[in-house]
A and B are shown apart, each in its own frame.
Chain A
């Protein structure tokens, strides 16, 4: 299986790399420009293009997966693009071990999601548009994976930002959907800004943006590590932190995690795309790419510290919030945040391979969970309508017509039924009998998420993270890693608990509503991807079984640590590999099984009946968890409200005289800001409000006068700015 004979890559791989992201992008253009009136044709084009992309990616992957030194000499193909003064900016494509593993995961997951969507979206009036966006999304992610430099990566990164915006807001008649879309776009924009700064800084320091030339080059890394930047950081640490800012935004880490739960407003396949195969993976993917930079900055530097703390905190926070949610997709959303926290924390303690491994396995089982939950929602909606039709005195189960009508109306009326939420787990129960395939696959996905020992992928990757954290923390006595270990173990315990809660509430017991009682299994185009993903969720973990793991290490033989050996050539300085230790393994087995047992005791022994209160509501801090630690309210009070206020003030201000406006506005502004802050005070702390309020007030007064809507006025201000820059540069800096 693992031939030792030297394997060389055929020369056509570089061409394939150029071609791999193209089919979905072309599909997007074709659908958007020509075939948007042909529903069937559009979805066929999208699926076929993604499959073509998958085939090309697989050819690349299976040609390189045994190359030992791929990281040292990645397959690249570049061309000069932008001459910038003395240097030339090269762009191109390349595949290194990290990229190769993603070339396996991304197109596979995308293809399955595409196939699933043909069934899930079948009755949507904007079916073609959906597939156009979806293709662009998939193509962008492929482009991001094959990029060999930060610039093209950033371009595709932003393209995905656009796609997520249009897909989250896909049900655009629904106010919550378009708000969620704007929120996602704006929040990730904060991180992107930092990333852009990091990119500019990197380019001025090194004169190149190619990953290989920067990150696999001792000389450049040393130079970056020795250049001092601000706050006592080295340039390497500063750049790494700025780039990490991009990850925080895209991968929904605290404090920019707020967009991700709202992104559930999009259709479910989109949630799977965003949360598993594309967007959030991209963030961690980029962080892993820049791992050598973190390493170069030194073992215990601030950058590592920040990354580890943010990751561990996010993992913990996400897990606690997920416990107290009722919406089936929202539980998964917070679990995604939490699991991404695991990966980021792992990166922060230097567990490079473990983070990549968990990213890979998580993509499969989280895609599975999302798609299965979509199938559940679909089934419950279906059942709701069937029950509805039944009660209204229509003939029996004329469910199909009603079902179609309901789906078709999602765009016309902004929500299907205002008094019934098909995503609320309290409205489900007993679905296992009605939807056996969905149940079985959801169970597998949930088991992988909870980390059921030995038979699921989630166990192996989580265990790897624990092993690293334990080794660095408790064996070598690093306080940070110890803290990370403790937080992650607690999170894993809660993960197992809420996963069990979710499965039991959804599938076991007796149906709590008519809708659940009438739910029906989804169509084969939806269940087929579930089955394929379930297979991966079970077995993908065996690509990186530790060599000296009892029984299993011997079972996989030479295949042990494949991922680790494959990725090893990515790094110049290999992180210390922890020797096998039974303690972290025991920990991960105990928390997984313990959490499941706890969940089963609370929910499984006596399942909820209709109208009964959920036991978690009796927790003293339930409200705090259910309202997601009040982050949204906090941000609303300190960012959104003042800004809205400034905007409101401004629109009034135009109509009135200047003096008037300033006098009256000042008072009203004070009142409004205070009101906004009262909320903030109540929720968190008093203190900053006055200072921040004054600052916003001053900024508001100033900004208000600039926005006139007069094009010539704007031009004049840009001219003034250009003159200032001209004077400074020509007269003073020459």
Chain B
């Protein structure tokens, strides 16, 4: 393995690049989609990229510490919670407005 500080031949930066790409793609999904469910999918992609970063740093910088893992685990839980509530809200909104386009959800604005 020619690369220094590479684990299994893969340098840390590779993971960071993939995570950055995944994050940007997810961000695009959240900001540019015309469907609330699709926005949620974007959020999931972003959360996944964060977790990928956390675990990569854990593996490369501090494999003996549990902090990286704990944070990743909390992200899992929060992601699941967010999806559950988010989808419940989307369904409730869909029932009353027959639409899941975030642009139509402006009832709170005067």
Contact = CB atoms under 8 A, between A and B. Distances in A.
Interface string A706-734: 01011110011001000000000000000
B109 A709 contact: yes
B106 A715 contact: no
Interface string A639-654: 0000000000001000
Interface string B1-35: 00000000000000000000000000100111000
A711 B34 CA distance: 11
Interface residues of B, number: 12
A710 B31 contact: no
Nearest to A650: B110
Interface in B58-110: 102-103, 105-106, 108-110
B46 to A, nearest CB: 12
Contacts of B27: 719
Contact of B30 (A707, A709, A710, A715): A715
B110 A712 contact: no
A69 to B, nearest CB: 43
B30 to A, nearest CB: 7
A704 to B, nearest CB: 13
A429 to B, nearest CB: 47
Contacts of B105: 711
Where chain B touches its partner, the secondary structure class is helix
A710 B27 CA distance: 16
A711 B33 CA distance: 12
What are the 5 tightest A-B residue pairs by CB atom distance, in nearest-first order?
A709-B109, A709-B106, A712-B31, A716-B31, A711-B102
A711 B110 CA distance: 15
Interface of B: 27, 30-32, 39, 102-103, 105-106, 108-110
A716 B109 CA distance: 18
A719 B24 CA distance: 11
A379 B92 CA distance: 52
Interface in A686-715: 707, 709-712, 715
Given A710-B102, A710-B103, A715 B31 contact: yes
Interface in A97-116: none
Contacts of B110: 651
Interface in A162-207: none
Contacts of B103: 710, 712
Given A710-B102, A712-B31, 11 more contacts: A651-B110, A709-B108, A710-B103, A711-B102, A711-B105, A712-B30, A712-B32, A712-B102, A715-B31, A716-B31, A719-B27
Interface in A332-349: none
15 contacts: A707-B109, A709-B109, A710-B102, A710-B106, A711-B102, A711-B105, A712-B31, A712-B32, A712-B39, A712-B102, A712-B103, A715-B31, A716-B31, A719-B27, A719-B31
Nearest to A714: B31
Nearest to B110: A651
**Which of B27, B31, B32, B105 is packed against the most chain A CB atoms within 10 Å?**
B31
A578 to B, nearest CB: 58
Contacts of B32: 712
A172 to B, nearest CB: 19
B53 to A, nearest CB: 16
A365 to B, nearest CB: 45
A707 B108 CA distance: 12
